[in-house]
Structures are given as C-alpha cells and as structure tokens.
Amino acid sequence: MSLARRLPNGTAGLFGLAVVWLAATAHIGSPDVYFKGLAGPYEVGVVVRPPGVVPGQVDVVVQVKDAVDRVTVQPVYWETSTGGAPQPDLAQPVAGEPGTYATRLWLMTTGSYSIAVAIRGARGMGAVNIPVLSTATRELPMSRALGACLLVLGAFLVFGLLSIIGAGSREATLDPGAPVDARRRMRARVAMGSGAAIFALALLGGNAWWRSSARDYQRIIYVPPANTARIVDSAGQRVLHLTITARDWLDRKETPLVPDHGKLVHLFLVRAPGMDAFAHLHPVTRDSNDFRVAVPPLPPGTYRLYADIVHQSGFAETLVDTLAIAGDAPASFAPTDSDDSWVTAGARGDDTRVALADGSTMTWDRGDTAIVANQIAPLHFTVRTPDGRAAVLQPYMGMASHAMITRDDASVFVHLHPMGTIAMAAQSLFDRRQGIDTSRATPSTMSMRDTALPDTVSFPYAFPKPGHYRLWVQVRRSGKVLTGTFDATVREAAPPRERS
C-alpha cells in the first residue's frame, strides 16, 4: 500500500527539504498538518491527519532522509509533560516507501497536543515536536446497514430474553413431562409482560442517554471564536477594529495570546468573490479582546477576513468574518506595522511567471504535472532580479517566505511557510516544556534578521479538495515586501486501480 493511500494527504517522497526551517499556521477547511525540518541531525518530513472527532486516532507518517534504526511518536497534551503522557509508539516502516514510517495515536481530549517524534540512528538521537490541534469538527454518522443490523440483533436479544423469562416462570419448577396448568401459563405471561415493561424502560433510558451524549458532543464541536469587524474613520485614515466577543474569551477562560514570529495577530483580507485584492496586516492590541489596524488603500468591496492567533496553551486558531470597504481610499496612508503589505491582481489563469512590484519576477516552478487533491503539490517558487539574475532574499518576519492559499468559495484558507503548516510559537512552547534543544532545527527570528536567503522557496502542502484556488507568495527583497499572485486548478484524485 502506498503512503498516499495510507494517508489521503500523505507524501510520495521526502518533501524536498529547504534550507530555512520556519513555520506558522492557519487553517480553514484544511486540518491536516505538514512539517519539514530537522529532528536533531536528521532531515524529516511529517504528515499528521487529525480525525475530526474526539476521542479519535490520528494517522502519523514520518519520512527520514537518512537510514535510521528506530522512530517513535508520542502524543503529549499541553498541560502535561512527556512523563504524564502515554508511552511512545514505535512507528512501523511502510512497505515500498524507504525511509517512511507510520503509526496511529489516540488523542483523548480536546485542546493542544504535541506529537513528539524521536529518531535513533547512526548520528545519535534526534527529536522534534509537531503541534496538533485536537478538536471535534464533525460527528461520525451511523450507516443504515449498521443501524439495521443493530436493530435486528437488539430485537433478537430482547425477544430471546423474554422467551427465557416466560419459560423459566412456566416450567422451571415442573417435573419432567408434567403438564403446564393454566396458573403457570398466566404467571409466565405476567412475568413476560413485566420483563417487556422493564426492557422498554431500559431502552427509553438508553435512548435518552444517547441523545444527551449527542447534545454534549455537539457542544464541543469547534467553531472559531465569535468576533466583530468594522471600519471607522480616524484622523483621516480608515481603521479596522477587530473585537473578539466569544463568552469564554470575555470570561477569561482562554489562555492568553503569545506572539507568533513577533506578532500577536496576523490578519488577512481577501476581496470576494474575485480574490483580486489582498492584504496581510498586523493589528495592535487595545485590550485583550480588541485589535486595531490601519486599512491600506484597497479597492472598495466585500472582503473575507481571517485573523491568526496562538494561545499560550499552543492552540492556534483563525478568526473569520466579512467586512465591507466603501468609497475611495484616503489620500494618505500610514501603516500600523512596517511589515504590513497588500496587493491587487486580477485572474492569472495558467500564468506561472508574474512581475513583482520592484520589477523582479517570481516563477512558479510547477512543471507539467497536474495538481491533484490530497497529493503533495509542487509549490516551488523562484525570484529573479529585473535583469534575470538570482535574487537575494531577506527574511520577512524571520521567515524565508509566507504563502496564503484560499479556495474561491472560501471553504479553504491556509497560511503556511517553508516549514509547513504548524505554528512556530506553539512548537517553541512545547519545546520549552519538554526541554528539547531546537537550536539546530529552528533558527530564531533575531538570528535571521540580516541573513541572505536563496532565491527559491518551497512549501509542503496538499490541497484538501478539488477546485479553483488563489495563492499569494510573499518574500522580502532590498527591504521591500513583494507578493506574487497565482491561480491553481486542483483536480480530483483518480480512484485507485484494481489489482489483477
């Protein structure tokens, strides 16, 4: 069985590991977790597929570039250490996929987990934490066939028990061969009737318990925190006010926010339905639930709003809303944050080479292979200077690049980086709690401030379903943030061939 079949969003080879190992997260409609980076001295790629139900099992696939002796994985809840977690599971080699190991783990409660991956090989031990969110996002339905089977078996059991009760009341004390009198028959009927009443009450009680459990489960199904977004005029500028109104937040039941690559909030605006205007902004906080940011000179229209936040527990989530921008932009604009960026661009179709704001170009090196849902996509991008030379890139908020991907119907939105889809802040929190040395795996934002980066960036990701998507790929060159806009048509995966 191929790895792609074991995990719908699995990989068919090591991700093509990049030089820079940095990450962040944001997911709408795309729950699978992708990571590429270092586990000590080993280059690894990890795919985690959450089940969408709690309790539930996650599928974990680990790919190691070098030959190793042993790979283990362990689920660690954010409030515990590895000492309070279940024993690590030994990942088994996947047949036909050299260097690939797979297993399943149970996540027993909602919240933030780390999948602790440990590798032993000729270079010694290596470890890395992969933050994963355990959330209930759906209910598993019972099939009609299973329901019918359970109904038949239940009826057989009830009628069988009633038959035993009747026979016991009627004949248990009779001598062998003695006739059954009318009094014994009546006693058997009364016993069977009483048994039927008891069974009926038990079934009604069980049904009530089942419905109550279903209601309790529905209450834990995850929805993004409630919020409101509005634009107000302030000192000649348009200012976006984002306010979190969720009751748990206002009652201080949520853990505080922590900065992810230097920002408490990463806010994105996408004009709908054309996806022809985009902004990546960083609000400042006015209160624990109130954030504000100047709106750049975007064209009027209705915008989808996505705001990434990370909690101290390691739980990363995305606020969602819609926002109307009306009228012409003010004559002057002062960004709230020096890393704020925005761009307008129409449909790109199959164009794989786009001009950037400074005259350089960005090329999507996707080859001729079709992009297929649930298979690792060829997300490789190269930047060239106006005269065609390899561009020298700079870190953008301590990262080699950012990429935002959304489906045209807003059912998917993802914020990813060359390290994958995990939150770097969440990973750092787990590392500190577990005492893992990540100096070789994740260079700090400060250490990368003046680093010269290669001209090509790559992202590990598989589109979750077919359809039309838009991608915004952001890099920094000569101190300026540059955004390349691309379109992608994702096809349905072909059904597996039957073996002869």
How many whole angstroms separate alpha carbon 229 and alpha carbon 290?
10
The SS3 of residue 79 is: coil
**First CA to last CA across the chain, in angstroms?**
15
pLDDT the model gives residue 438: 52
pLDDT the model gives residue 437: 59
The SS3 of residue 333 is: coil
The SS3 of residue 479 is: coil
DSSP conformational letter for 107: E
* Mean pLDDT rounded to a whole number for the chain: 86
Query: Across residues 297-324, what is the average pLDDT?
Result: 94
- pTM exceeding the 0.95 threshold for the entire prediction: no
Q: What is the pLDDT of residues 161-184, one digit of tens each?
A: 989 988 888 887 787 878 888 888
Position of tokens 């914020």?
415
List phi, psi (to 5°) of 204: -65, -40
Contact 18, 382 (CB under 8 A): no
Of 3-7, 48-52, 339-343, the range with the lowest mean pLDDT is 3-7
Give me the helices (H) in 137-262, please: 144-171, 182-220, 247-250
CA dihedral for 156, 157, 158, 160, sign (positive or negative): positive
pLDDT the model gives residue 345: 86
Distances (CA, A) of 340 to 265, 368, 431: 12, 34, 29
Length of the chain equals 500
34 pLDDT band (50/70/90 cuts)?
A: very high
pLDDT the model gives residue 18: 36
Query: Across residues 227-242, what is the average pLDDT?
Result: 90
Kindly state the tokens that stand for 72: 């283990």
- Residue 435 CA, chain-centre distance (Å), reads 25
